[in-house]
Amino acid sequence: MLVLFGALFAAIIYRWISLERLQRLAPTEIPVAPIPVPTPTRPPVITGKLDTAKLFNGITLHSTVETLSGADAATERTQPDSYALDLRLQARVPSPNKTIEELAKITPQLPVLLPGLGSMFSPDSVSPLYAQLYDSKVKILRENLARLDVLLSRHNFFDCQTVLQLQHPQSHRKALVLQADMDVDADGSDGDRMSIGTGAPANFKPFTSYRWPKKTPAPSPYLAGTEDKLKHAEEEYALATTTPVRKRDLRNIIAELRAEVATLKKYSFLIGATDPFIVVPGTFTHASEPVKVGDYALVIFGDSIYPAIVGDVGPNDKVGEASLRIAKQINALSTPYNRPVSDLKVTYLIFPGTVDKPPGAPDLEKLQARCETLVKEIGGASVPLHHWENIIPPSPTPTPTSIPLSSPSPTQSALSNGLTPAASPSPTFAFPVATPSATTSPRSTPRRSSSPASAHAAVKKRKP
């Protein structure tokens, strides 16, 4: 036992000495940082119930599932084409109406209201703007085909019956005629004329494309709110906890808000709730014979003709929009969320090249007289043009009071008798804005121009 124990002890000592020698001869090991193991990610899942019919927003959907024989599951899982969805949107581009008879099928009163309109038609009356409008629609469809939730709805794709460029044979007065539906533009503000706001529906902007320099120091009713948004954005940007990605977004937001603040301080704009104006697509303002903001126009619906001006510019792929003032005159139930006319029964007649310079605050009497003159140059109208009343509440003006020098004022007398003078009534203003209806059918909202003056609150134009 002693011999075995001694042999085991000697073996242990020998092994220890051998390891010590090997460690001295071996090169120094460089520590290697552990390689991070990527955290497995899960593909995004669609939660809840997804109604495909609602997602496609009025697009007729034909769906089939085709199966083919394949390799084993492990192999097919790695093949991109083994499990694929092919999207093919088929859209028929409509043909424009070209004659007064075709227009009368949609709006029978039109030839009666404007008896000289028929003489203005020619074989090439269809404006190139019609093709440009539908080219823009198709382009947007292609760009958004992977975003099924923002595709143009059926209603918005077929929102224009025709665009015609006409000229009267005697007076040579030109007119651009389009037939469409009518959505609502509730944008705009003017502190000089109206010191309170008319509401701020979704996507509201206190600007319109038609603007003019302010005349008084009265601020826009939306200036304080915009400055408050700017302050909060700048404070968030300055926080140390704000991420770089968020700061990048905030830089764009701050730049836009600063531009809006500067614009609100410098200019006044049309007010959608009080001023009669229409909206045209952006492409209309860049044509060979462009429509200009401020051009005089007519809105024809039913048995009435409404004077208006071109007051705002919308997206290139949608047409048919007027101010809330016109919309409520046509349909009292109209709101920023509820269009007055869904059918293509509204005729917009624009007189290119009639804009007044320099631009200024709306003068409804001048608008009336100017449109009546222009109507006479295209053959006249069988009914009087609608007369717009000024519905903007008057600004409060202090009433001067003469105080005799020989006798104290009523206030002084009250104070001297130990009485508390009655508080003088302060003027109040109210401009009703209808509450959005739960049964309205808002349109998809596009995108809008980055210019503050061309942003829209209308559900059709606005949108995000």
Mean pLDDT of 81-91: 85
Q: Is the pLDDT assigned to residue 203 strictly greater than 50?
A: yes
22 vs 211, higher pLDDT: 211
The angle at the Cα of 289, spanning 344 to 377, to the nearest 5 degrees, equals: 70
Q: Which amino acid is at 329?
A: Q
Mark 212-229 as b/e (b = at least 16 C-beta within 10 Å): bebeeeebbbbbeebbeb
Mean pLDDT of 295-321: 96
In this prediction, residue 300 has a pLDDT band, given cuts at 50, 70 and 90, of very high
pLDDT tens profile 150-190:
788 888 899 999 999 999 999 999 999 999 999 999 999 99
- The confidence score (pLDDT) of residue 201 equals 82
Concatenated DSSP letters for 326-363? Answer: HHHHH-TT-BTTB-SEEEEEEEEEE-TT---SS--S--
Query: Would you say how long the chain is, in residues?
Result: 464
Q: Say if residue 358 is preceded by a cis peptide, omega within 30 of 0.
A: yes
Mean pLDDT of 299-309: 97
Q: Which residues, 6 or more positions from 334, have their beta carbon under 8 angstroms from its beta carbon?
A: 184, 324, 327, 328, 340, 434
Alpha helices in 337-449 (DSSP H): 364-376, 410-416
- The confidence score (pLDDT) of residue 153 equals 85
Q: Which residues, 6 or more positions from 243, have their beta carbon under 8 angstroms from its beta carbon?
A: none
- Calculate what percentage of the chain has a pLDDT beyond 90: 59
pLDDT tens profile 423-449:
333 332 333 334 333 334 444 343 344
Q: Is the pLDDT assigned to residue 49 strictly greater than 50?
A: yes
Mean pLDDT of the chain: 81
- The confidence score (pLDDT) of residue 391 equals 93
In this prediction, residue 251 has a pLDDT band, given cuts at 50, 70 and 90, of very high
- Read off the tokens for 183: 């959505």
Q: Which residues, 6 or more positions from 97, have their beta carbon under 8 angstroms from its beta carbon?
A: 103, 105, 106, 161, 162, 164, 179
Computed over its alpha carbons, how large is the radius of gyration of the chain? 35
pLDDT tens profile 339-373:
999 999 999 999 999 999 999 999 999 999 999 99
pLDDT tens profile 1-47:
777 777 777 777 777 766 655 555 555 544 545 554 444 444 444 44
Mark 367-405 as b/e (b = at least 16 C-beta within 10 Å): bbebbeebbebbbebeeebbebeeebbeeeeeeeeeeee
